[in-house]
Structure 1
Amino acid sequence: MGKNFRRAGAAVLAALTATALVACSSEQAPQGGGESPAEGGSATDTIVLGFSQVGAESGWRAANTKSIQDTLTKENGFDLKFSDAQQKQENQIQAIRSYIQQQVDVIAFSPVVETGWDAVLEEAKAAGIPVILTDRAVDSDDESLYESFIGSDFVLEGEMAGEWAKEQYDGEGYKVVELQGTTGAAPAIDRKTGFESAIAGSDLEIIDSQTGNFTRTEGKQVMEGFLQKHDDIDLVFAHNDDMGLGAIEAIEAAGKVPGEDIKIITIDAVKDGMQALADGKINYIVECNPLLGPDLAEIAEKVIAGEEVQKRIVVEDQAFDQEAAKEALPDRQY
C-alpha cells in the first residue's frame, strides 16, 4: 500500500521556493513557454506536464488547483498544460488524448470516477508517456498503466470520522444521514466504506444516504429533502466540507441549530469548514490535504529522470475538534 509521504520536505521546499504565486482559477489553462530552465539545468530540462482536473466543485478543489498551478511553473522547470473537466469523465479522456497528441512529457490527472480509464491509459503507455494519478485512484487490474498515485487514504478518512462518531454517540441511538460525494468517485466509495465499517456494532444507524456531488448547493438541497422526509435526524456525515456547509444552511432554515440539534461530521478541513467547526456549527472534521503540487512536481521529476517511485504515496492527514480548529485556523493555508 505504500508508506506515508511527508510533503513539503526540505529538499522539495528548496526546489520550489522560487515559485511565483498566481490567482487560482480552475477555468484557466496556463500555457508555459517551456523556456525557463529547471534549477541547475538548461532550457531542455523543462518538463511539459499535462494535467486534467476534476473541476471546481469545492473549496478543496480550488486549493488543490492553486497548489498545482503555483508549483508547476516555468520558474520551477515546468510547462503546465491545465484543463478543467467540469466533473465529466469524457472531458478528461478528451484532455488526456490531447496531451498524448501534443507529446507532453508527463500526464497527471485526478479521475472523476474510478472506472473506465484503461483504454486511454493504454494509449498513453503506447506513446511512452508516463501517467501520475493525484488525489483519486483508478480501478484497474493493470497497474503498469500509471507510475504512481499521490493522495489520501479515503477509507481511513471515513474510518476516522466513524470512530469519532461511535466514541461520542454510541448508546444514544443516533439516526444518521449521509451526504455522499459524486457517484462512482473514489472518495465517495471509500469514505462511505470506512465510515460504515467504523460504526459497525454500534447503535448509530444510517437512515438515508444520497449524493450531493461534493458541492455546497447540492448538499443544501439534499439536506432539505432529508429534513422533510425525516423528523428524527441526529447526525449528518458529509463526505466533504462543502456539502456539510450546505447542510448547515438547510438546518438553520428549518429552525434547528447545527452542531447542537443536529451534529455534523465532515471531511476536508478547508478554511470555511474549519471556521464552522470553530464556531460550533460542525462537530468534527477529518482532514484531506489538497496541497499536492509539491508532491506531484517531485514525482514527475523522478519519473522523467528514470528513478524508481513508490506506486502508492499516502499523505498524512489530521483530524480536528472545535479547540483544535481554533488553534489551527490562524495559520491555515487552505
Structure 2
Amino acid sequence: MRAPFQFVTASLTAATVLGLALAQGNQPVIGLITKTETNPFFVKMKEGAQKQASALGAKLMTAAGKTDGDNASQVTAIENMVAAGAKTILITPSEPKAIIPAIQKAQAQGVQVIALDSPTDPQSAVNALFATDNFKAGVLIGQYAKAAGFSGNKVAKIAMLDLSPGPLVGIARHNGFLAGFGIKGITAKTATLATAPQVVCAQDTYGDQAKGQTAMENCLQKNPDINLVYTINEPAAFGAYQALKTAGREKDVMIVSVDGGCAGVRGVQSGQIAATSQQYPLKMAALGVVAGVNYAKSGKKASGYTDTGVTLITNKAVQGVSSKDAKFGLANCWGQ
C-alpha cells in the first residue's frame, strides 16, 4: 500500500511546486481525502472524482487514511494539499470532531472544504455536505427486516455490526435501522448509538470484511441464536456471512446492509444479503468537483446539505417497503 499522501516533505517538493503553478494558472486544483483507499466505496468515489475533474479540466490530488478512523493522516493531507495550492478540499472525515481544527485552518486560508458521505460534528464546520441520508438508509433496511421476517410472533435476536466509536454516519445508520425495525423513541436527532432488548450483541467492524467476520464469530459465541444481522456496510456483511456459513447458520439468519456497491448487489442476487440500501458515491464525488471548479471560477462557495439519494435493493420485495430489484441495483451500483 502506498503512503496515505505523497506530499509529505516540509520543503517544497516538485509536486508541491507543480500544484502551486497550477493554482496560479487557469487549472483549478481540488483535493480529495477519503477514509481509506481500499474500501470499494472510496475507491469508486476516487474514480468518480477523477473522471469529473478530467472532464472539467481540473487537477485532482488524492489522499487517504491508513484505516477508517485515522484522523492524523487526514490532518496531514489537508495541510499538504493547502500547501500544494488546492482551493477546494473534499473529505470523508474519519473523526467528525477531531478533524475540525485542520478544516478551520484551511478555511482561514481561503480554502473551500466540502464533506462527502460523512458529516463533521457539527455539520456546519464544512462549507457544504454531499451525502446519503444515512438515517433513512438505516430505516429502509430496518423496515425491510421487520416486514420480511419479523412481522409476526417471531422474536428477533439482533447482532449489530457497527462502524467504530464516534463517526456520525455509523450512528445514523445504526439508529435508523432500529427505528425502521420499530424501536420507539429513536429519531434522526438521536446523538448516540441506541439499543433495544432485541439487540443481543454489538461489535465494531471498521467497515472491514475480516473484522466483520471476527465480530460475527464473537456474537455467535455470545448468543448462538442470533437470527438477524445489521451491518454498517457490505464488506462487513460478507464477513458476517462467512462466519455464519462456517457455523452452519447462513441459511437461517437474515443479513441487511448499506452501500449497494456492485459486489454487494451481487450478494443480494446470491442470497448472502437479504437487502441493502444503495447509495451513490460517484454522484457525491462529481458534485464536489463541480463545486470546486465553480468556486475557482466564480469565488462562490457551495453551502448546505445535498441529499444524494438512497434506494432499497432486494430480490424479495415486501409490501409497504419501496424497493428495486438487483437488476436495477447492478445498473446503478455506485451511481453509474
Same structural fold, with TM-score higher than 0.5 when normalized by the shorter chain: yes
**1:99–1:36 CA distance, 2 compared to 1 (3 A):** closer
- Give, in whole Å, the separation in 1 of the partners of 2:113 and 2:106: 8
Match of 1:289 in 2: 280
Match of 2:295 in 1: 303
**1:28–1:279 CA distance, 2 compared to 1 (3 A):** farther
Runs of 4+ in 1 over 4 A off after TM superposition: 25-37, 201-204
Measure how far apart 1:72 and its partner are.
2.0
Q: Secondary structure at the match of 1:221?
A: helix
Q: Secondary structure at the match of 2:79?
A: helix
Q: Which of 120, 136, 144 matches 1:164?
A: 144
Measure how far apart 1:45 and its partner are.
2.6
Match of 1:108 in 2: 90
Match of 1:185 in 2: 167
Matched, 1:263 2:254: yes
Matched, 1:197 2:190: no
Q: Which amino acid aligns with 1:210?
A: Q
Deviates more, 1:43-52 or 1:275-284: 43-52
Conserved 8 A contact 1:177-1:208:
yes
Measure how far apart 1:57 and its partner are.
4.4
Conserved 8 A contact 1:275-1:325:
no
**1:322–1:235 CA distance, 2 compared to 1 (3 A):** same
**1:191–1:325 CA distance, 2 compared to 1 (3 A):** same
- Give, in whole Å, the separation in 1 of the partners of 2:146 and 2:3: 37
Cα deviation code 1:285-318 (max 9, x no counterpart): 1112121221112111233313363411111111
Matched, 1:326 2:320: no
Measure how far apart 1:26 and its partner are.
9.6
After superposition, residues 1-334 of structure 1 pair within 5 angstroms as: 44-73=25-54, 76-87=56-67, 88-140=70-122, 143=124, 145-168=125-148, 169-171=150-152, 172-201=154-183, 205-257=198-250, 260-291=251-282, 292-304=284-296, 305-307=298-300, 309-322=302-315, 324-328=324-328, 331-334=331-334
Conserved 8 A contact 2:291-2:301:
no
- Give, in whole Å, the separation in 1 of the partners of 2:40 and 2:3: 11
**1:273–1:296 CA distance, 2 compared to 1 (3 A):** same
- Give, in whole Å, the separation in 1 of the partners of 2:278 and 2:104: 33
- Give, in whole Å, the separation in 2 of the partners of 1:307 and 1:209: 44
**1:278–1:116 CA distance, 2 compared to 1 (3 A):** same
Unaligned runs of 5+ in 2: 8-14, 185-195, 317-323
**1:86–1:79 CA distance, 2 compared to 1 (3 A):** same
Cα deviation code 1:36-67 (max 9, x no counterpart): 99xxxxx9331111222111342222212221
Q: Which amino acid aligns with 1:299?
A: A
- Give, in whole Å, the separation in 2 of the partners of 1:246 and 1:297: 33
- Give, in whole Å, the separation in 1 of the partners of 2:224 and 2:19: 59
Q: Secondary structure at the match of 1:228?
A: helix
* TM-score, normalised with respect to structure 1: 0.81
Q: Which amino acid aligns with 1:61?
A: F
* TM-score, normalised with respect to structure 2: 0.81
- Give, in whole Å, the separation in 2 of the partners of 1:308 and 1:101: 20
Deviates more, 1:243-252 or 1:118-127: 118-127
- Give, in whole Å, the separation in 1 of the partners of 2:50 and 2:63: 11
Cα deviation code 1:125-162 (max 9, x no counterpart): 22111111111110038x3x422111111111111111
Q: Secondary structure at the match of 2:60?
A: strand
Q: Secondary structure at the match of 1:45?
A: coil
Conserved 8 A contact 2:258-2:277:
yes
Measure how far apart 1:204 and its partner are.
7.7
Q: Which amino acid aligns with 2:36?
A: G
Aligned residues: 301
